[in-house]
């Protein structure tokens, strides 16, 4: 009687393991399918974009992005130049006098 019970339970446990193996295989298989799909989609998107770029179409977004980037850079450059212009306009009196003395010294005759 005891032996029967153990054998019966052994069968149930084997089934449990077999089911687990099926479940595990399913998880791996699903992941593999999902991975294959991800790569397939990435490849097909890439191919689509490449072909459109080759035809010169569909690049509006890229150009708009580049334009936006360039405008941002341009703003920075404009500010840098404006700062330089400010610096130039605010030359110290001392430097102005030095430059003026240099010119005057060259203009006036020497012995």
Partner 1 sequence: MSNTIEMEAELIQKAVNERNKLIKEAEEKAAKILAAAEAEANRIRTDNENQVLQLVGSDLRTVRDRIIGQVELKGKSDIMAARGIMLERVYDNTRTQLNFIAEGKDPNNDYNEILEKLMKEAVEQIGGDDFIISVNKRDQSYMKSEIGVLSFKLGVKLRLSNELIDVIGGIKCTSASGDKIYYNTLDGRLEHVRRIKEAEIATKLGVI
Q: In whole angstroms, give the CA distance from residue 63 to residue 33.
A: 36
C-alpha count within 13 angstroms, C-beta hemisphere, residue 1: 0
111 counts as binding partner 1 under rule CB under 8 A? yes
Q: Site size for partner 1, by CB under 8 A?
A: 67
DSSP one-letter string for 46-99: HHHHHHHHHHT-S-HHHHHHHHHHHHHHHHHHHHHHHHHHHHHHT--HHHHHHH
Q: In whole angstroms, give the CA distance from residue 20 to residue 15.
A: 8
Among 4, 7, 11, 95, binds partner 1 (CB under 8 A): 95
Q: Are the C-beta atoms of residues 52 and 58 closer than 8 Å to each other?
A: yes
8 counts as binding partner 1 under rule CB under 8 A? no
Restricted to residues 32-61, the positions that interact with partner 1 (CB under 8 A) are 32, 34-36, 38-39, 41-43, 45-46, 49-50, 53-54, 56, 59
Query: What is the binding site for partner 1 (CB under 8 A)?
Result: 2, 5-6, 9-10, 13, 16-17, 20-21, 23-25, 27-28, 30-32, 34-36, 38-39, 41-43, 45-46, 49-50, 53-54, 56, 59, 62-63, 66-67, 69-71, 73-74, 77-78, 80-82, 84-85, 88-89, 91, 95-96, 98-100, 102-104, 106-111
């Amino acid at each position: 009687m005891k032996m029967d019970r153990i054998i019966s339970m052994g069968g149930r446990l084997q089934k449990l393991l077999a089911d687990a193996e099926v479940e595990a295989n399913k998880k791996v298989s699903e992941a593999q399918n999902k991975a294959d799909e991800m790569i397939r989609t990435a490849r097909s998107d890439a191919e689509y974009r490449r072909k459109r770029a080759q035809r010169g179409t569909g690049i509006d977004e890229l150009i708009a992005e580049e334009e936006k980037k360039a405008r941002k850079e341009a703003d920075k450059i404009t500010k840098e130049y404006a700062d330089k212009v400010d610096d130039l306009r605010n030359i110290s009196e001392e430097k102005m006098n030095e430059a003026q003395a240099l010119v005057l010294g060259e203009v006036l005759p020497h012995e």
